[in-house]
Amino acid sequence: METFIILVFVLGYLAIVLEHPLKINKSASALLTGVLVWAIWIMMQTGDKELVTEALDHHLGSTAGILFFLMAAMTIVELIDAHDGFTIITSAIRTRKKSTLLWIVCFLSFFLSAVLDNLTTTIVMVSLSRKLLQNQEDKMLFAGMIVIAANAGGAWSPIGDVTTTMLWIGGQISSASIIAGLFIPSVICMLIPLTVAAFRLKGDVEVTGQVAATDHVSSTTQRERNTVFFVGVGTLLFVPVFKSITHLPPFMGILFGLGCLWAVVEYIHRRKDDQQKEYYSATKALQRIDTPSMLFFLGILLAISALESTGMLAQLAQAMNDRIGNLPVIVTGIGLLSAIVDNVPLVAASMGMYDLTTYPMDHFLWEYMAYCAGTGGSILIIGSAAGVAAMGMEKISFIWYLKKISLYALMGYLGGAAVYLFLQ
């Protein structure tokens, strides 16, 4: 059974990688892979098949939470975009030099990710870079660097990355310790690829601060733009606060924020005719979000959850522990593996493998795992939620990212890891 599941997963992964040569959309490959691995498992289950459906139901809850979060975040960004809200930022950026602009965008992504999370930050910053760039190659390069910066920024904050949050909630790390221990390695993780990429990036770009080409001429007032921008960004910033107050999952907080922004938009356009109101409505924004990318995300998460439920990821983690034994090497390997397999089940398996009695709170193991799992996913574009979001938004192919960004990300990952181990 395990052989068939691994075979289907590998073939599906290759189909995603070879999307352009095969002429098959990656979303179709991901959905087929996600469904087939579960179908194979339940068909080959000789015992209680209800155990498989129960496992699927369990994972569907967390998967749906991620998809709802992604949908709500994209809708909020689309609403801000429709009202030209990003001109507040783009008009303040005066530089025409591409390398300087890359530094500004990456530093914004790094620190914003620590406050929000890497997924939301990537959606916001990729949308922002679209307003500043005209060339598609430049847009994809900036998107790739945003992924690296957002993942690095999320690693040192207890609310910046889902794996760091897992370790924080589980009692493996404390807020003060993770910030103090991982801030410098995370900065190095961003600085190395950013320095190399900025050095190689030549030329100027026209910073217009205008919205992308569209068949609609925006007629929002300054007051409407400011209101939607600050309410929209405020709802995103409120998500971690909502989580800490209510202890509900993040997707509930962002859905609450979307509801608030939706109501505000309806109110400020209440006196306009239906045709004008339609373009600025949340209903229209929902039509503009990238649905194929969400389905791609669904397929990937289904496939990974099947590998977790069958126990394969736990077996892999245990095998690494038994055969290697060296903690720094094992955790570094987990980070590299998270570029291929979702880091959430890998960290979850590790949390079950190493107990708090042997490795207490803020032990080297937990801090280093937070860094490696949080930043290792940048090495391949489908290794993190931020990468998947950028992949869909800018139509970045797996091969392009592998050629243009992966080496930068690997250099940053290993550089930050070396700095952390040296400091320890």
| DSSP string across 129-147 | HHHH---HHHHHHHHHHHH
Query: What does the pLDDT read at residue 192?
Result: 96
Inside any domain, residue 3: no
Cβ atoms within 10 Å of 83's Cβ, excluding its own: 25
- Map residue 271 onto helix, strand or coil: coil
Inside any domain, residue 24: no
The total number of structural domains in the chain stands at: 1
The rounded distance, in Å, linking the Cα atoms of 300 and 374 is 18
**Mean pLDDT, the chain, as a whole number?**
84
User: Could you tell me which residue, 46 or 35, shows the higher pLDDT?
Assistant: 35
The angle that helices 364-376 and 327-337 make with each other, rounded to 10 degrees, is 20
Q: The whole model's pTM is what?
A: 0.75
Inside any domain, residue 7: no
User: Could you tell me which residue, 363 or 171, shows the higher pLDDT?
Assistant: 363
pLDDT, tens digit (0-9, with 9 covering 90-100), for 70-93: 788 889 888 988 888 877 877 777
Inside any domain, residue 379: yes
pLDDT at 138 over 70: yes
Mean per-residue pLDDT, 114-139: 85
pLDDT at 272 over 90: no
pLDDT, tens digit (0-9, with 9 covering 90-100), for 340-361: 876 766 776 677 677 777 788 8
Q: Which residues pair with 204 in a beta bridge?
A: 97
Inside any domain, residue 33: no
Tokens of 245: 């107050």
Mean per-residue pLDDT, 169-196: 89
Query: What does the pLDDT read at residue 342?
Result: 66
Q: Where are the alpha helices (DSSP H) in 116-249?
A: 118-132, 136-155, 162-169, 175-200, 222-246
The rounded distance, in Å, linking the Cα atoms of 122 and 145 is 10
Query: What does the pLDDT read at residue 171?
Result: 77
Inside any domain, residue 331: yes
pLDDT at 17 over 60: yes
Q: Are 405 and 374 in contact (CB under 8 A)?
A: no
pLDDT at 210 over 50: no
pLDDT at 259 over 90: yes
Inside any domain, residue 37: no
Inside any domain, residue 137: yes
Residue numbers of the domain that contains 344: 59-302+310-424
Query: What does the pLDDT read at residue 376?
Result: 92
Q: Are 242 and 232 in contact (CB under 8 A)?
A: no
